[in-house]
Amino acid sequence: MSNFAVQGGARLSGTVAAQGSKNAALPILAATLLVNEPVRLLNCPRLRDVGNMLHILESLGCTVFREGNDLVVDSGTADRFVLPTALSHELRSSIFLLGSVLSRFSEADAPYPGGCEIGNRPIDLHLYGLKRLNAEICERNGRIRCKGNHLCGAVVDFEYPSVGATENIMMAAVRADGTTVIRNAACEPEIVDLQGFLNACGFRVCGAGTPTVTIEGVEQGHGTAYTVMPDRIVTGTYLIGAAMTRGDVTVENTRPDTVDALLSKLRDCGCELTRYDTAVRVRAAERVRCVAFTETRPYPGFPTDLQPQLFAMLSVAQGTSVLVENVFENRFKHAQELKKMGAQNRILDRTAVITGAEQLHGATVTAHDLRGGAALVLAGLCTDGVTVIEHAERIERGYEQIDRAIRALGGTIMRT
Ligand code: UD1
């Protein structure tokens, strides 16, 4: 276990660059199995989740190495279709590998992903989609075995626009026989990035970013070089940090269009915003105002992955806000931790009612999950003391050197 100690009081100010997107990099890494040639990824973040994905790829026989800032994955040497249990449990997104391993080897064997801190996270939609493509699936002894000697294009009509299931089916379908149409597909920018990568490999995918994604099966793809999109959640986290510390932060190397839902909230609560092509600046001259109502929704709605950070901000805003979590059923664990710092909130099922405090206080708190942990770091900056955040390693699953970034913006944070 590692801890962060955050000293309150600083106003974040300056410029920070967004890292490459974790949630885009993970499915793209899974998709490297779809070609037998080396793939070079630029802007791939150095994170624990990415490291775990690379270990899984290596355990399947892929060759992985870094060349400067680039990551090279050569799946030409891959020769196994059984995903290792322990590593796959570390990384929930290992389920994305089901589609690509199946497509590559006509067979896949993966452990059933357990629950996680933010909810149960079932995989019924992934399995439904694979079955529609003619895969045979057998669930036994906590493992999922898929066989797909002849994957065929089909209409896959999702009941809910699951991000992971959409990505999994895109990967399973690129080499299937015929055309696949995914209806009610998730529209997240990371899906557009996966489409970009797949097409750069010579596959034929269109429609990503809309609810209908069409994949025309082709026999073979080829190696490529691809730049992973910027991380919109990391971008949003630092912008919220600026707002809640009455700071002035520019996040560069980012895509402002991917954080529109957050920017409109920040505008509503009194921040001044400046958008550039690849950067965005947020200034807050005074204490932010509350936001009457926010609910998380699939893209382009307000992202669940920024809900904890917004929660932290509303905990220091003027007035009372209502925040509803629609995507995951158990994603308010940060609420009780924020209370230890003097925040006022009440949770009823999926709804939080948050009354902002003028000042939070230092306390010892626990990062239960990645984004909830990031929220505690931001809250720690708004206290009159020192906050110790236990299990900082959970935050580092998704943030590349968050402590360095905060220090570069004038905050005080140390690893203990
Ligand atoms: C991805 C992101 C995660 C983000 C989430 C929602 C990655 C690596 N992770 O997760 O950071 O919070 O999108 O934007 O990209 N569901 C089912 N059955 C399924 C699949 C999902 O019921 O088969 C439910 C889930 O329990 C959840 C909801 O659908 O309530 C959203 O899940 P999904 O969109 O699949 O999220 P992930 O792909 O797991």
* Domain residue extents for the chain: 3-19+230-415, 22-227
Distance from the alpha carbon of residue 93 to the mean position of ligand 1, in angstroms: 9
Q: Is any atom of ligand 1 closer than 6 Å to the C-beta of 159?
A: no
Cβ(251) to ligand 1 under 6 A?
no
Query: Hey, which residues does 250 pair with through a beta bridge?
Result: 15, 281
Task: Give the neighbor-by-neighbor strand order of the sheet with 212-216.
Answer: 155-157, 179-183, 212-216, 204-206
The ligand 1 atom at the shortest distance from the C-alpha of residue 371 is 11
Q: What is the mean pLDDT of the chain?
A: 95
- Stretches where the chain sits below pLDDT 70 are 114-120
Q: Which stretches within 65-157 are classed as H helix?
A: 85-90, 97-105, 124-132
Residue 166 CA to ligand 1 center (angstroms) comes to 10
Q: Is 125 in the pocket of ligand 1 (CB under 6 A)?
A: yes
Predicted pLDDT of residue 95: 87
Q: What is the 3-state secondary structure (H, E, C) of 182-251?
A: EECCCCCHHHHHHHHHHHHCCCEEECECECEEEEECCCCCCCCEEECCECHHHHHHHHHHHHHCCCEEEE
Which residue, judged by its Cα, is nearest atom 15 of ligand 1? 23
Q: Is the CB of 160 under 6 A from ligand 1?
A: yes
Domain 22-227, architecture per CATH: Alpha-beta prism (3.65)
pLDDT at position 89 is 84
- What CA–CA distance (Å, rounded) separates 171 from 191? 11
Alpha helices in 60-173 (DSSP H): 85-90, 97-105, 124-132, 163-173
* Residue of 162, 327, 397 with the most ligand 1 atoms within 8 Å of its CB, for mutation: 162
Ligand 1 pocket residue status of 300, Cβ below 6 Å: no
Between the CA of 299 and the centroid of ligand 1 the distance, in Å, is 12
Q: Which of 44, 62, 116, 269 is catalytic?
A: 116
**So what's the pLDDT on residue 119?**
63
Mutate to test the pocket of ligand 1, among 56, 92, 160, 194 (most ligand atoms within 8 A of CB): 160
Would the CATH topology of 3-19+230-415 be identical to that of 22-227?
yes
DSSP state of 360: B
Report the atom number in ligand 1 closest to the C-alpha of 121: 26
Put simply, whether the predicted model's pTM sits higher than 0.85 gets the answer yes
Ligand 1 centroid distance, CA of 162 (Å): 5
Domain 3-19+230-415 has CATH 3.10.20.340: no
Q: Is 202 in the pocket of ligand 1 (CB under 6 A)?
A: no
Tell me the best of 327, 329, 330, 331 to mutate to test the pocket of ligand 1, counting ligand atoms within 8 Å of each CB and taking the most. 327
Q: Is 53 in the pocket of ligand 1 (CB under 6 A)?
A: no
**Residue 152 C-alpha from the chain's centroid:** 30
Active site residue 116: yes
| pLDDT tens profile 224-270 | 999 999 999 999 999 999 999 999 999 999 999 999 999 999 999 99
Residue 247: predicted pLDDT: 98
Residue in this structure with the two tokens 């009457």, named with its chain if needed: 292
| Ligand 1 mean position, distance from CA 351 (Å) | 19
Residue 117, pLDDT score: 65
C-beta 221 within 6 A of ligand 1 = no
Residue 121 CA, ligand 1 centroid: distance in Å = 7
d(CA 98, CA 108) in angstroms, rounded, equals 6
Q: How far is the CA of 342 from the centre of ligand 1 (A)?
A: 31
